[in-house]
Amino acid sequence: DIQMTQYPSTLSAPVGDRVTITCRASQSISIWLAWYQQKPGKAPKVLIYKASSLESGVPSRFSGSGSGTEFTLTISSLQPEDFATYYCQQYNSLPYTFGQGTKLQIK
Protein backbone atom coordinates (compact mmCIF):
# COMPACT_ATOMS: atom_id res chain seq x y z
CA ASP A 1 0.00 0.00 0.00
CA ILE A 2 1.10 3.57 -0.65
CA GLN A 3 1.69 5.53 2.56
CA MET A 4 0.80 9.23 2.60
CA THR A 5 2.64 11.42 5.09
CA GLN A 6 1.16 14.83 5.66
CA TYR A 7 2.68 17.69 7.64
CA PRO A 8 2.37 19.64 9.75
CA SER A 9 -0.33 17.87 11.75
CA THR A 10 -1.41 21.21 13.25
CA LEU A 11 -0.95 24.70 11.91
CA SER A 12 -1.86 28.01 13.56
CA ALA A 13 -2.11 31.14 11.45
CA PRO A 14 -3.99 34.45 11.44
CA VAL A 15 -6.57 35.54 8.90
CA GLY A 16 -4.85 36.88 5.81
CA ASP A 17 -1.76 34.69 6.08
CA ARG A 18 -0.42 32.42 3.36
CA VAL A 19 -0.08 28.80 4.46
CA THR A 20 1.27 25.63 2.90
CA ILE A 21 0.57 22.01 3.75
CA THR A 22 2.80 19.23 2.45
CA CYS A 23 1.99 15.66 1.54
CA ARG A 24 4.56 13.02 0.67
CA ALA A 25 3.84 9.65 -0.95
CA SER A 26 5.90 6.54 -0.19
CA GLN A 27 6.21 5.90 -3.94
CA SER A 28 5.46 7.84 -7.07
CA ILE A 29 1.78 8.55 -7.66
CA SER A 30 2.32 10.79 -10.71
CA ILE A 31 -0.30 13.55 -10.35
CA TRP A 32 -3.08 11.37 -8.90
CA LEU A 33 -3.57 13.35 -5.71
CA ALA A 34 -6.57 15.14 -4.25
CA TRP A 35 -6.93 17.56 -1.35
CA TYR A 36 -10.04 17.68 0.83
CA GLN A 37 -11.32 20.09 3.44
CA GLN A 38 -13.36 18.80 6.36
CA LYS A 39 -15.25 20.80 8.96
CA PRO A 40 -16.48 19.30 12.25
CA GLY A 41 -19.47 17.01 11.80
CA LYS A 42 -19.40 17.29 8.02
CA ALA A 43 -18.25 15.08 5.18
CA PRO A 44 -15.03 16.04 3.41
CA LYS A 45 -15.20 18.36 0.41
CA VAL A 46 -12.78 18.13 -2.50
CA LEU A 47 -10.69 21.23 -3.20
CA ILE A 48 -8.00 20.10 -5.61
CA TYR A 49 -7.71 17.07 -7.90
CA LYS A 50 -4.99 15.82 -10.21
CA ALA A 51 -2.51 17.57 -7.88
CA SER A 52 -3.19 21.08 -9.18
CA SER A 53 -6.67 21.28 -10.71
CA LEU A 54 -9.15 23.42 -8.81
CA GLU A 55 -12.54 21.80 -8.25
CA SER A 56 -15.46 23.81 -9.58
CA GLY A 57 -16.77 26.31 -7.07
CA VAL A 58 -13.64 26.32 -4.90
CA PRO A 59 -12.12 29.77 -4.30
CA SER A 60 -8.98 30.58 -6.26
CA ARG A 61 -7.00 31.25 -3.06
CA PHE A 62 -6.59 27.47 -2.91
CA SER A 63 -3.90 25.98 -5.11
CA GLY A 64 -2.04 22.71 -5.39
CA SER A 65 1.27 21.68 -6.85
CA GLY A 66 3.62 18.75 -7.13
CA SER A 67 4.06 15.42 -8.84
CA GLY A 68 5.68 12.10 -8.13
CA THR A 69 6.03 11.92 -4.37
CA GLU A 70 5.92 15.52 -3.10
CA PHE A 71 2.82 17.72 -3.11
CA THR A 72 1.66 20.95 -1.53
CA LEU A 73 -1.62 22.70 -0.85
CA THR A 74 -1.38 26.46 -0.50
CA ILE A 75 -3.98 28.90 0.74
CA SER A 76 -2.89 32.33 -0.41
CA SER A 77 -4.82 34.48 2.06
CA LEU A 78 -6.60 32.70 4.90
CA GLN A 79 -10.27 33.49 5.40
CA PRO A 80 -12.27 32.70 8.57
CA GLU A 81 -14.12 29.90 6.78
CA ASP A 82 -10.83 28.14 5.90
CA PHE A 83 -10.16 26.99 9.46
CA ALA A 84 -10.75 23.26 9.15
CA THR A 85 -8.87 19.99 8.73
CA TYR A 86 -7.23 19.19 5.40
CA TYR A 87 -6.43 15.76 3.98
CA CYS A 88 -4.49 14.60 0.97
CA GLN A 89 -5.43 11.37 -0.78
CA GLN A 90 -3.69 9.37 -3.46
CA TYR A 91 -5.81 7.69 -6.11
CA ASN A 92 -3.01 6.20 -8.16
CA SER A 93 -3.73 2.69 -6.89
CA LEU A 94 -6.02 0.90 -4.46
CA PRO A 95 -6.29 1.30 -1.54
CA TYR A 96 -6.77 5.04 -2.05
CA THR A 97 -4.93 6.09 1.09
CA PHE A 98 -5.26 9.39 2.93
CA GLY A 99 -2.75 11.49 4.78
CA GLN A 100 -3.29 11.79 8.52
CA GLY A 101 -4.67 15.31 8.22
CA THR A 102 -3.62 18.88 9.04
CA LYS A 103 -5.76 20.86 11.46
CA LEU A 104 -5.63 24.54 10.59
CA GLN A 105 -6.37 26.74 13.59
CA ILE A 106 -6.85 30.45 14.07
CA LYS A 107 -3.91 32.22 15.67
Binding another protein by CB under 8 A: which of 21, 29, 49, 104? Answer: 49
Q: Which is nearer to another protein, 36 or 83 (CB)?
A: 36
**Total number of residues binding another protein (CB under 8 A)?**
22
Strands 10-13, 102-106: pairing is parallel
According to the 3-state scheme, what is the secondary structure of the chain?
CCCEEEECCEEEECCCCCEEEEEEECCCCCCCEEEEEECCCCCCEEEEECCCEECCCCCCCEEEEEECCEEEEEECCCCHHHCCEEEEEECCCCCCCECCCEEEEEC
Q: Which of residues 25-44 bind another protein (CB under 8 A)?
A: 32, 34, 36, 38, 43-44
Q: Which is nearer to another protein, 1 or 17 (CB)?
A: 1
Site track for another protein across 82-101, x = CB under 8 A: -----x-x-x--xxxxxxxx
Interface positions with another protein (CB under 8 A): 1, 32, 34, 36, 38, 43-44, 46, 49-50, 55, 87, 89, 91, 94-101
